[in-house]
């Protein structure tokens, strides 16, 4: 958890601003998505205390006893009403806290349906460690174990909204809560857009489906008015972008990394955004496009939304048609801006924070009675 790296930090800031005491127990390493950045062991941002007791999320999930005494000291001082546990594996640490202080647990995962569909969780080496730690090695068993230990659960994967009753086990309620989208305060946005430029920002890895750029970028540059396409990000598929740059020269601008505010500023000055991603549960690039009113086109209906269907291209030819329509039809351009900005307002830190507060309050109330 880090203010400069995590959109969801602002959800908890919202809880704090509404009069709730919020403290984090987490790891000192940010994780692969943020290049394993080393963070200070303690931080207090906006009145929200962040205790980075563990080396990383791996130690926190599999070896929570290593720092349990320090954890319980923080718990005793805070005297919390509830534990909001980010990740099914961290239920092990949460259950240790509950033995010391009888309070409810809410387990929050990114994609619940993926957990129950996995035969095994992690590599063979990790499975041995999981067994040693007392954690299930199978996805369905892990979800069942989390349901048994939690008082309520949350998933942030939009398609999971359709199977909340299937996900519920042991009579535990399962809620859907969108990951927040956030434009940081003080971020200077462009007032004028570069009509020549399209943009993508994010990891370049199979999980993001970015291998599709190999055929998508030539199509965009050859069949639409786009004169420059900017790609910001790192990962295995960066080689695809570099190879395409050799072919298309300055028409492709590749930037491995930039500070987030600069990425958002560049998005705000672009004519449109595009992402090939198939699965989305966080704010990131999509939220930044929505929040800056930069029309975003996708190849998949990521949010299972009828309203956002207008932003989805059904294959390469339809993508070309929609990009050209952005250039030729101001009404269509404004329509995408409105639909996507409306989606953004429903996923701001304030909106998601208020919804999370409702879930946490309901769980506390149900535990009492």
Domain containing 269 — which CATH number?
3.40.50.2000
Phi, psi (degrees; rounded to nearest 5) at 347: -120, 15
Residue 177: name the closest of 366, 328, 358 by CA.
358
Residue 146: name the closest of 105, 100, 110 by CA.
105
User: 168 in helix, strand or coil?
Assistant: coil
User: 179 in helix, strand or coil?
Assistant: coil
Do 161 and 229 lie in a common domain? no
Does residue 362 lie within any of the structural domains?
yes
How far apart are the C-alpha atoms of 160 and 164, rounded to whole Å? 6
DSSP of 116-154: HH-SS-S-HHHHHHHHHHT--SSHHHHHHHHHHH-SEEE
Residues 87-96: tens digit of each pLDDT: 999 999 999 9
Do 234 and 340 lie in a common domain? yes
Percent above pLDDT 70 for the chain = 94
Do 126 and 251 lie in a common domain? no
How far apart are the C-alpha atoms of 95 and 83, rounded to whole Å? 10
pLDDT of residue 31: 59
Strand pairing category for 48-54 and 42-45: antiparallel
pLDDT of residue 3: 58
pLDDT of residue 2: 54
Chain mean pLDDT for the chain: 90
Do 332 and 353 lie in a common domain? no
How far apart are the C-alpha atoms of 295 and 236, rounded to whole Å? 27
Does residue 1 lie within any of the structural domains?
no
Q: Where are the alpha helices (DSSP H) in 162-281?
A: 164-167, 213-223, 238-248, 260-268
Please determine, for residue 84, whether its predicted confidence score (pLDDT) is greater than 60. yes
How far apart are the C-alpha atoms of 82 and 362, rounded to whole Å? 11
Do 341 and 352 lie in a common domain? no
Q: Which of 28-32, 148-152, 277-281 has the highest mean pLDDT?
A: 148-152
User: 363 in helix, strand or coil?
Assistant: helix
CB atoms within 10 A of CB 350: 17
Do 248 and 283 lie in a common domain? yes
Residue 281 — pLDDT band, cuts 50, 70, 90? very low
Do 136 and 85 lie in a common domain? yes
Residue 29: which domain range?
9-180+348-368
Asked if residue 211 lies in contact with residue 242, where contact means CB atoms within 8 angstroms, the answer is no
How far apart are the C-alpha atoms of 85 and 153, rounded to whole Å? 9
pLDDT of residue 147: 95
pTM of the full structure: 0.86
Do 170 and 241 lie in a common domain? no
Average pLDDT of the segment spanning 230-259: 95
DSSP code for 209: T
Please determine, for residue 37, whether its predicted confidence score (pLDDT) is greater than 80. no
Percent above pLDDT 90 for the chain = 68
Does residue 186 lie within any of the structural domains?
no
Average pLDDT of the segment spanning 270-299: 87
Q: Burial-class residue 84 by CB neighbours within 10 Å (0-12, 13-18, 19+).
A: buried
- Count of the separate structural domains present in the chain: 2
Q: Which residues contact 145 (CB under 8 A, 6 or more apart)?
A: 88, 91, 135, 136
Residue 280 — pLDDT band, cuts 50, 70, 90? low
Residues 165-204: tens digit of each pLDDT: 999 988 899 999 998 888 888 889 999 999 999 999 999 9
DSSP code for 164: H
């Amino acid at each position: 958890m880090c203010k400069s790296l995590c959109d969801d930090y602002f959800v908890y800031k919202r809880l704090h601003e509404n009069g709730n005491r919020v403290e984090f127990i987490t790891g000192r390493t940010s994780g692969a998505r943020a290049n394993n950045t080393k963070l200070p062991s303690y931080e207090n941002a906006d009145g929200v205390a962040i205790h980075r007791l563990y080396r990383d999320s791996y130690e926190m999930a599999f070896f929570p006893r290593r720092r349990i005494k320090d954890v319980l000291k923080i718990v005793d001082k805070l005297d919390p009403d509830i534990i909001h546990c980010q990740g099914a594996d961290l239920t092990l640490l949460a259950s240790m806290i509950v033995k010391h202080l009888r309070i409810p647990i809410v387990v929050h995962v990114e994609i619940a349906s993926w957990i129950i569909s996995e035969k095994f969780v992690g590599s063979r080496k990790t499975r041995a460690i999981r067994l040693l730690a007392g954690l299930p090695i199978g996805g369905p068993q892990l979800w069942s174990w989390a349901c048994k230990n939690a008082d309520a659960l949350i998933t942030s994967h939009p398609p999971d909204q359709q199977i909340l009753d299937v996900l519920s086990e042991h009579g535990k309620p399962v809620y859907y809560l969108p990951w927040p989208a956030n434009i940081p305060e003080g971020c200077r946005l462009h007032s004028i857009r570069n009509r020549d430029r399209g943009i993508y920002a994010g990891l370049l890895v199979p999980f993001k489906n970015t291998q599709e750029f190999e055929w998508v970028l030539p199509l965009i540059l050859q069949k639409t008015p786009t004169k420059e396409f900017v790609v910001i990000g790192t990962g295995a598929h960066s080689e695809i972008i570099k190879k395409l740059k050799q072919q298309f020269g300055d028409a492709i601008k590749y930037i491995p990394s930039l500070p987030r505010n600069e990425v958002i500023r560049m998005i705000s000055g672009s004519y449109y955004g595009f992402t090939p991603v198939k699965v989305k549960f966080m704010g990131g690039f999509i939220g930044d496009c929505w929040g800056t009113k930069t029309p975003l086109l996708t190849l998949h209906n990521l949010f299972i939304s009828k309203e956002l269907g207008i932003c989805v291209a059904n294959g390469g030819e339809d993508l070309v048609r929609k990009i050209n329509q952005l250039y030729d039809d101001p009404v269509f351009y404004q329509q995408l801006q409105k639909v996507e900005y409306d989606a953004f307002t429903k996923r701001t830190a304030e909106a998601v924070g208020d919804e999370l507060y409702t879930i946490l309050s309901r769980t506390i109330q149900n535990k009492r009675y």
